[in-house]
Amino acid sequence: MLFSKKKKNKSSTFLQSIKPSRKNNFHTHSSSQQVTEYSGKVLDKKKKQVGVFSYSCDEGCSIYLTEIFNTKLIGWLEKMDLIYFLSIKDHHEVKHYDIAIVEGVITNKKDKLELEKLRAKTDILIAMGTCTITGVPSAQRNDFNEEQMAQIQDHLDKFDYLPKVLTVPEVVKVDAEVMGCPISEKKFIEIFEKYL
């Protein structure tokens, strides 16, 4: 592993650096309290492993989520490891998510496959934002007339788009929805904290 191609020198997460996990000292490495993450660092399994994923959209909900973080992040980090959030972290392979927060719609084949794979390794999938459920505004192209379609057809073919934009529940099972464009702050906090 030491010489693997993906080797990265990652420091511990913010919270771990404040509170070194005492538990880990009392258990052997086979302990059920431990889980080895991508980089070989040991995480507290009691903490929820959370990822935030953006498909086609303006990413307004994940931006709004970083605004909700202004007052909530420090508290939530007591209960979660934010292990995937491309807006603020490098990406890497993760085997399992306790909670995956998904924004956007599915507009090409590659994203459809990715979302299906994500669902397979996720316990709770939260759809974030109105477009995940209704498809619009990205799904406006589903209703384009011939003239509008003629303007975009070459681009659709060239980049392997799906014939129609799909909502998240049209592709995978969704455990909870938070509506709003962007998400309602109160509702998100209520639902997220229920699973945290």
18 contacts other proteins (rule: CB under 8 A): yes
Residues 76-105 that bind other proteins (CB under 8 A): 77, 82, 86-91
Number of CB atoms found within 10 A of residue 62's CB? 23
64 contacts other proteins (rule: CB under 8 A): yes
* CA separation for the pair 106, 115 (Å, rounded): 8
For residues 27 and 89, which CB has a smaller minimum distance to other proteins in the complex?
89
* CA separation for the pair 158, 67 (Å, rounded): 36
Q: How far is the CB of 30 from other proteins (least distance, A)?
A: 27
Q: How far is the CB of 32 from other proteins (least distance, A)?
A: 26
CB 66 within 8 A of CB 87: yes
60 contacts other proteins (rule: CB under 8 A): yes
Longest dimension (CA), the chain: 68
* CA separation for the pair 196, 185 (Å, rounded): 16
Q: Comparing C-alpha atoms, which of 108, 107, 111 is closest to residue 139?
A: 107
Q: Which of 49, 122, 132, 138 binds other proteins (CB under 8 A)?
A: 138
32 contacts other proteins (rule: CB under 8 A): no
CB 47 within 8 A of CB 16: no
Q: Comparing C-alpha atoms, which of 1, 111, 116 is closest to residue 56?
A: 111
181 contacts other proteins (rule: CB under 8 A): yes
For residues 7 and 27, which CB has a smaller minimum distance to other proteins in the complex?
7
Contacts with other proteins by CB under 8 A lie at: 8, 10-15, 17-18, 56-64, 66-67, 69-71, 73-74, 77, 82, 86-91, 107-108, 111, 137-138, 140-141, 144, 148, 151-152, 155, 159, 161, 181-182
